[in-house]
Structures are given as C-alpha cells and as structure tokens.
Amino acid sequence: MPSPPCKAAEPASTRRREWLAVAVILLVGSVLRGMYLRENVAKPEFTVPGVDAGFHDYWARGLAFGEWVPPHHYVDPKLREHAYLRPPGYPYFLALIYRVAGEGYVAPRVVNMVLGLASCLLAYWFARRWFGRTVALLSVACTSLYWAFIYFEGELHAPALLILLLWLMLAAMGLWRDRPRLARAVVAGVLLGAAALVRPNVLVFAAVALAWGCWVAARRRYGRRVLVDGLGFVFGLAIAVAPATIRNYTVSGEFVLISSNAGINLYIGNNPQADGRVAMVIPGLGPFGTCYDYPALVRNLEHKLGRELTDSQVSSYFASEALGFIRANPARTISLTVNKAIMFWSPREISHNKMIDCERMDSGALRAIPLDFGLVLGLFVLGLVRFVHRWGARSEQDPCVIRVEDSRCWEMLVLVLLLIVTFFLSLLPFFLAARYRVPIVPFLIVVGTYGLEGVMAAARARGGLRVGVAGFVWLVACVFFGRMPEPHPYDWAKWHSDRGAACLFGGRLDQSIREYRRALELNPGFTDAHYNLAMVMQRQGKLEEALAEARRFVESQPDRTSGYRLLAELLIQAGRYEEAGDVLERGLALPMMDPFLMAQAAKFLARCPQPRLRDEEEALRLARRACELTDNEWPEPLAALAEAHAALGQAAEASRAASEALRLAEAQGKTELVEEMRQMLERLGGQMNAPE
C-alpha cells in the first residue's frame, strides 16, 4: 500500500515551521477564549445558569456534594427516584469537575475551553494523518476560530465534551482502518458509547460504522477478522452504555437504555403545534420550560389517563401520540421535516435556552470573529464538489484530486461524511437547536478545508479554469446559504427578559427591573416580563406596582395558573381578601389542574382573617386533592393540609401533615416554609398538651 502524502520525508525545519504555525493558531484561539471568559464572568447569568444549563448544574452538584436542593423557584425533580430523563454524560462530567475544582463556576468553563482546544488539536492530527498538511492547518485554524464553539464552551452544556469524544472515536476507527486490531475496535466502540451517554442520537452511527468497517474490510481484503473486530466494537459500545442501563433498571425496574426523554422529544417534534423548535407548553398537559416541569407534566398526564405511569410508559405515550400524528398527517409531516432540514442548514444559530445571536452581538470577542456557519457551509459544498470529482477521477496527473490508489484519504473522507449525514438524519424526527447542530460543525470544516486545499492545489498548478469554477461554486454556496430563510428573528426582548430573570434570582433586583422594562419597550406583547416584574417588585415591597404587573399578566395569559397564584398571593399580602378569593376561584375553574394553586386556595380558605370567607371543609378537600396529585411528595400541599386540619381542630392530623411538610421543605431548601411549619408545630404542640 502506498504511503500517504503526509508521511513523506520532510525537512526538520519544515516540521518546526508547521508546529509553530499550529502553536500560533492555538494561542490565538486561547486568547479569544480568555477574552470571552472575561466577558462571561461579568454576566448575571454566569452564576445563575438557566433552563438546561441550570438543570445540569443542579444535577452535578447533587452528584458531587449530595446537595439535592433545587433552586428556590423550582420543585424537586426527583432525579434519584426515576430513570434518567436526560442523558447523564455531561452532568456526571460536570460533577467530576466540581469534586476536583470546587463549587465555583469558572472551572467548568475553563475545562470546556481546554476540551475545545484539545478538539482543535485533534482536528489537526486527524487531517494531518489522512488528508495532508494543508488540510490540517486549515482545519485547526477554522476550528480554533469558530465563534459558536467558543460560545458553547462558555456554557454548562455538552458540545465541547461531545465533539472531543467524536474526534477520538473517528481517530480510533481510522487507526483500525490502517492496521486492524481488536483493541482498536473495542476502543472505538467505547468512545461511541461514551458519546451516546452525552447525546444518545449518535447511537444511530453504530450501524453505519459497522457497515463502513465491512466496506473497508472488503476493499482491503482483511478477511474474517472484520467479524471479530465488529463484535469487539459492539462489545465496547455495550460496556460504555451498560452503567446507565443498569442504574435505570435498578432505580425504576424498567429497561431504559440511556434516558427516557425520547418519547416526549419525538412528540415535541411531531404534533399539531410543532414548528421544528422546542415547545414551551405541552398542549393539554402544561408547561415544559425546564426539566423541573416534567414531574408536574407527568402528574397531569396520569390524571388525564386515570392511572399511574412508569417512566417507560410516559415515554411510550408521547411516542405513540407523535406516531399517530405522523400517520394521520403525512403531508404536514413531510412539510415539517423539510422545514427542519432547512433550519438545520440555515446560516443562523437556532436559539433554545438563550438567544444565541443576541449573545454574540453582545460580546466583543465573539462579534469580532467572522467565521460563521454560512461560510463553513460554503466550504463544505466546495468539499463535496471535490469529493464527487474525486469519485470519477482516474488520472494521477490531476492536481485537484488524490490518486485513486491512495485510498486512505478516500475511505476516511467517506467515514466523516457518513457521520455528518447520520447525525443530521438522526435529529430530523425531533426538534432542532444550535447546540444539537454544533457538534457536527468540526467535521463539516474538515470536508470544507479538503475542498479548499483542492482549489489551492489547482491554483499552484495554474489550473485557472478549475480555480475559477471552484471559486464560483464557493461564492454561489455562500450567497445561497446566506440568503436562506431565517429560523427566527433577533429577539432582543427575550434576551433582556432572560437576563432579567438571572438578575432576579441572583439578587440584582434593580438591574432585573431595568432588563424587564427594556424587554417590554422592545416588545410590549412580551407578557412574561409582566409576571417577572411583579415578582421583583414584590421582593422590593412595592405591592401596588406588583399588583398592576400581575394583573396585566393574568389579562394577557388567562389560561396560565401561575398568574392566578401570584396575583392571589399579592392580594392576600395587601389585605384584599375578597379579591384574592375571586382570583383563586377563577384559577381553580381552569381545565388545567394545578395542585399548588389548590394548596394556595386551601390555605386561604382555612385561615382567611375574614370569617365569612373561610370554608374549612372545602379547604380540606382541596388540600387532600393537591396532596393526591403530588403523591405527598411536595411540602406546599402538605402544609395546606396541615392548615386545613388545624382549622377544623384536628391537631393530631395537622401535626402529622406539618411534620412531613417540614421534612420535605428542609430537604428542598425552602427556608420560609421550614420556619412556617416549625411555628405551626409549636402551636399544635401547645394545643395537644393543653389540659382538657
């Protein structure tokens, strides 16, 4: 077998210059990452990560320190009592960082950035080994300077870890291709399994990788050893995934391979309201803004079906609903799938937890980097053109292609393209977000720089026509992808609102108000800002202003029980009990059963200062129903039950409910409720010990 071009003897000075170039590129990438980290530390959300990042943080801190206390504005998601809802790979990795480096928020970002630079170096090594020096240098330059990589390295998200694992997996498969060994096949399987623990959809690539191995074995005449090595690959994959499967079975008694969110993710991507992006509300079941909402959503589903459900049954229900929609609406499904494909290849990043394009525009470091997805995609098209040209090439004199007999590059390029296509197709049934697409960008870059290297080779050989054609292809591709439909507009109102939430939960109340006010200036219809403004003003003791904002929210969102809860709380605090009773009655009349609204109403009816508004029997009924809906696992309904029993003079029953509410409130870090239940137990103790 002929040696690849990159293995030819080279002068030591040439190698030194090459490594110096790599070092300079990585240094520039490090400086940009340092600049962005400095900007990031000053942001309010740096120490108050939100949505999925916040959930990763909660999960990791629970694993690292045993502190299973959710943020005060969320309920306990009961992670330890169910199969993994989300893939566990990154939270466990984050927990390891916390255990080693402590509880601070800088270390995870630094580690992510180190992983990002390591992936850049792997991109160089991979391209250098199989595609040559020029492709390697171009690849390390593009991956070091791609702004979205730097952005996600600054978040508590998984792309940096996933990209590194995918590079290592491809490298192991490439080494197996060069020299088949069982150990290399096993290592490749382990690495793919580890990647699946971070992003389960990569499991689809296992079958493709095995098919590629058989194809290579047939071309290279490896004989029957491909069967043994294939079994080794599957064994390595199983070894990596098994701990998650075993843990899920131990906890839930069900076979859940990695996580149980496949069903609901499929439903989010295929339902009458689907648009290809994440849904914040599941029709008929309630909000699903974060994973903390999932237990309540499951309770509503169980109430709807009239029976308890296991983790797998919940997933199966949503999968069945999604498949039913697909069967009943084939044209709509095709249209939706095409729309998701267009969104995947569009130049803009699809926001999910944050408004990513706004984050870029707010950052001097990221804004200064010109390399974006549109340019990468233009390069990728250029690489595909060269790949197709290479398919039919037969001439060793052609400078724009690699020789037919030198099949190392050809076979590895096929592997990279298979990974890209498989990853893309595996996302289409679900929904899209920037962090789901970004892990495939490094491999688009390698294919693109392979195409650019062909243009450079043609230019060196004075192939003017070929260079002109290639340049025209690149220009057309860049213009085309630059003008593709936008997946969404810049939403600065949402960006300011998200920042306001981070300020609120981080204790920066004045800044929070400014952010919410700015959101409403930009978009008066952004009604969530009214709800959050009401909470901020309540904390500042500005009751009248808080009431005005809460009323605006209820008027604009009359079907959301959270607004009625907040408005009733403010009215009770202001002493407007009749109005509070009316608001609670309107909220309870909604079709969505909210156990926390029931608990709030039960407390009000049990201890309202105005006797004519009290109804102890109704309070007991509502409190019992709230406890049923929450399986006696939440302190608020139990506290309401204690109040109802106490109002009826049932001290023993009230004491039992208050004790359980106290235990749960302490476990969940709800300090105000803890103090309330302690005081109640003292009162009840005095009543029970009083002489008759």
Interior/surface letters 107-126, b for 16+ CB within 10 angstroms, e for the rest: ebbbbbbebbbbbbbbbbbb
Give the pLDDT confidence score for residue 689 in this predicted structure: 44
Supply the DSSP symbol for 3: P
d(CA 635, CA 671): 12
The confidence score (pLDDT) of residue 534 equals 92
User: pLDDT tens digit string along 614-631?
Assistant: 999 999 999 999 998 887
CA 424 from chain centre, in angstroms, equals 17
Q: Which of 568, 649, 657, 652 is nearest to 613 (CA)?
A: 568
Residue 468: predicted pLDDT:
61
* Token duo for residue 428: 């289409």
| pLDDT on residue 1 | 36
pLDDT of amino acid 691 = 40
The 10s digit of each residue's pLDDT in 121-165 is: 999 999 999 999 999 999 999 999 999 999 999 999 999 999 999
Stated as kind and residue range, the H or E segment containing 349 is none
Is 492-592's fold the same as 614-692's? yes
Q: Which helix (H) or strand (E) holds 484?
A: none
CB 159 within 8 A of CB 438: yes
What whole-number distance in Å separates Cα of residue 547 and Cα of residue 531? 10
The correct answer on CATH 1.25.40 for the domain covering 614-692 is yes
With left for phi above 0 and alpha for psi between -120 and 50, is residue 507 left, alpha or beta? Answer: left
pLDDT at residue 306, rounded to an integer: 86
Q: End-to-end alpha-carbon separation of the chain, Å?
A: 100
pTM of the model: 0.86
Write down the pLDDT at residue 289.
Answer: 81
What whole-number distance in Å separates Cα of residue 54 and Cα of residue 534? 23
Concatenated DSSP letters of 596-619: HHHHHHHHHHHH-SSGGG--HHHH
- The dihedral formed by the CA atoms of 157, 161, 167 and 172, expressed in degrees to the nearest 10: -140
Domain boundaries, the chain: 5-256+361-482, 262-346, 492-592, 614-692
pLDDT at 487: 47
d(CA 663, CA 368): 52
| Backbone phi, psi, residue 522, to 5° | -75, -35
Domain 492-592 sits in CATH at: 1.25.40.10
Residue 234: C-alpha distances to residues 180, 190, 227, 352 (Å)? 15, 9, 11, 34
Compute CA 632 distance to the chain's CA centroid, rounded to the nearest angstrom. 30
What's the rounded Cα separation, in Å, for the pair 302 and 299? 5
What are the Cα distances from residue 405, in Å, to 130, 395, 451, 454, 530?
14, 10, 19, 18, 67
Segments of the chain with pLDDT less than 50: 1-8, 394-405, 485, 487, 688-692
pLDDT of residue 405: 38
Look-up: residue for tokens 């302690």?
678
Residue 229 CB: number of other CB atoms within 10 A? 24
